[in-house]
Structures are given as structure tokens and as C-alpha cells.
A = this chain, B = another copy of it.
Amino acid sequence: MAGKRTRATIKDVARRAGVSPTTVSHAFSGNGTVAPGTADRVREAARELGYRPDTVARGLRSSRLGVLGLVVRPLDPQDTAFLEGVDYFLRFAGSAALAAVERGYGLMLVPDPTRADAPAVGLACDGFLITEPVENDPLITMLTRECVPFLGVGRDPARPASPDYLDLGTRRIVTDVLDHLAEAGGSRVAAVLGTDRNEWNLDAETAYLAWVRARGQEPLAVRRAEVAGEAGGREAGEELFGLASPPDAVYCQTGRHAAGVLAAARAKGLAVPGDVRIACGSDSDSEQTRLSVPPITSVDLRPVRLARVAVEVLVDRVEGIEQSPAPGPAEYELMVRGSTRG
């Protein structure tokens, strides 16, 4: 079932319809103007031949392929951790794909095109969505140099804010969650933070430090790699609850961390909520937070909506629509659950 090129070309259609290739081109692209009758003949001929314009050839001229690249960080293709963030990521990717389709684009998952082993096609995308750029993201450097449109979902923490990044509003979110923990009765709030160098982590840290200091306390933060997951959270929890004066509330950066902290608290015989309140700054739809016992208060970052907005902005950029108004901070919703609510 190999088969050489069987598809009809624009010339075949032109010949059959008794017109020039240009006319066929016009008829299909809707550019120029074609007499209705002629257009019909062209369409008819094309149908008979099973002709469809070749996207690649078209892209060569118009330097627009119709493909958006989605780059997910962290990005090591070896690292199956890629699959760990499934809940949030799938919703994001799925929604982005749909939104892209609605704008006439395909959405391709690509590994970091700056890596040597990246498939060449990665570079062919008309624009890129980069979720959670890392500090001084090399991909952003490259895209900027080559004038390829992109949109960061989250800031590059080392670069100035700009319309090139969607603002996740991390500090505001984290502060809200911390306030909620305090309202729920937490008087000493610890934090379990991640280690990736992205907006989400770096801003969360900043926000936590500021919040704690504003209350005249010393920060009590531990860090665990995102990929350490529930086990990492459990470790962190054991560390925190083993202290001489343990926290009575814990803010966690990921749902998996939170689930681990919860497990550690329960293992230690601590009531949740009661002795300890736990909340998570992300990923409210994850199994870990939603279906744990008790369920863990967390934040719905609206990945479906976020992806849609991101695609809209990116497509506008790709199509050269002038500065689509940079949307404000992403919407979110605090999902208060049993882990902080008597």
C-alpha cells in the first residue's frame, strides 16, 4: 500500500476544466475573481479528479502552513513525567486543538525545537504556544530571532512582562489560597513548592514569602521536584509535621504534592481539617485533589478556557492582526473542599 503520487494537481484540473491553473487557484482560494460559471466548471472538474489543493505547496508560497506548535515544558522527551500532568495538560491540549481547528489550524505537539534531536518539522509551525516557559527560555530566544510568532502561557520569569506572554496571575492566586488557609483557621502556614524555574514556581515563592513576612512570621518552605509527585509530597509532609513547632496549614504547589502531604498528616494522626489545613495552588481537576479523602481545596485554572484564549491570541499574531489586546490575568476559581472546610 505504498503508492506514488496519485493525487491530481492544479494543472490536471485546469486542463480538464479548460482554464488556466491560475483560475483554478483563484476558484479554490477565493482570491482574485472568477465567473460563477467558470468556478462551477472548475469545481466540477476537481471533484471528478478528486483534486484537493496541496497544503505543503501552498505553504511554500504563502509561508503559512496552518500548523501551530504546542511545546510543553519541562520538555525532556525521555522523561515520562510529561505524562504525569495529564489532567491539566490534556484538557489544555485538547481544548487548544479544538480552538485551533475552529480557526483553521492544526495543533501539533512538538518537542523543544531547539534540541538537536528534534524533528525538523517542529520548525515549520506558523506559531508556537509554550506552556510555562522556563527562565531565559532558549526556544523564545530562537523564535524571537527568527521572527516566528509565539505565545507563552505563563511568563518567562527572566524576561520583562510583554504581550508575548499570557499572565497566569500566579501571585494573586497564591495569595488568595494563603488567605483562604488563614481564614480557615491556619495560623502558621507552610509551603511545599516545586523546582521548575517557571513563572508558576518562582512567583509562588515570591508571593508566599511576601505573605508570610507581612504577617510577621518566618517562612517555612520546602521544595520538591514536580516529578517527585505524591511520594515527594509525603516526604515533605513528614518533614514539616516532624518539626518542633509544626505548621497548622500547608500550601502545596501541585495536586500530587498535596495528596502526599495529606497522607503524611493522616499517618501522623493529624485531623484534616482540624489540626492541619491543606490547599493546593493548582490543578483542581486532578484525581489527587478532587477524589482524595477529604478532597483537597485547590484552584481551577480553567485550562480549557485558557487554551482557547491562548490559541486565539496566537492565531491573531500569526495572521498579523495588530496587537490583539493582551488579555488580562487568566481567570481562575478557588474550589473550597473538605481539606480546609470543617
Which A residues form the contact surface with B (CB < 8 A)? 1-7, 50, 52-60, 63, 65-67, 69, 77, 80, 82-83, 86-87, 89-91, 93-95, 97-98, 100-102, 104-111, 118-124, 144-147, 149, 164, 287, 290-291, 304, 317, 320
CA distance A110 to B65 in the complex (A): 14
Chain B residues, Cβ within 8 Å of A94: 82-83, 86, 89-90, 109
Residues on B with beta carbons closer than 8 Å to the beta carbon of A118: 101
Q: A77-B98, A90-B93 are in contact. List 15 more A-B contacts (CB 8 A).
A: A1-B164, A52-B123, A55-B124, A56-B60, A56-B65, A65-B121, A86-B90, A89-B90, A90-B90, A90-B94, A93-B109, A101-B118, A101-B119, A104-B119, A287-B287
Take A59-B56, A83-B91, A86-B90 as given contacts and tell me if A121 and B105 are in contact as well, using a CB distance cutoff of 8 Å: yes
Taking a contact as CB atoms under 8 Å apart, the answer to whether A101 and B106 are in contact is no
Oligomeric state, in copies: 2
Please pick, from B56, B80, B82, B98, the residue contacting A124 in the complex, using a CB distance under 8 A: B56
Q: Are the CB atoms of A320 and B2 closer together than 8 Å?
A: yes
Residue of A58, A86, A119 with highest tally of chain B CB at under 10 A: A119
| Complex interface: chain B residues within 8 A of A147 (CB) | 1-4, 6
Known: A2-B320, A55-B123, A287-B291. A82 touches B60 (CB 8 A): no
Contacts of A91 in B (CB 8 A): 83, 86
**Chain B residue, CB-CB nearest to A287:** B287
Least Cβ–Cβ distance between A88 and chain B, in angstroms: 10
Residues A106 and B119 in contact in the complex (CB < 8 Å), given A101-B111, A145-B50: yes
CA distance A98 to B81 in the complex (A): 11
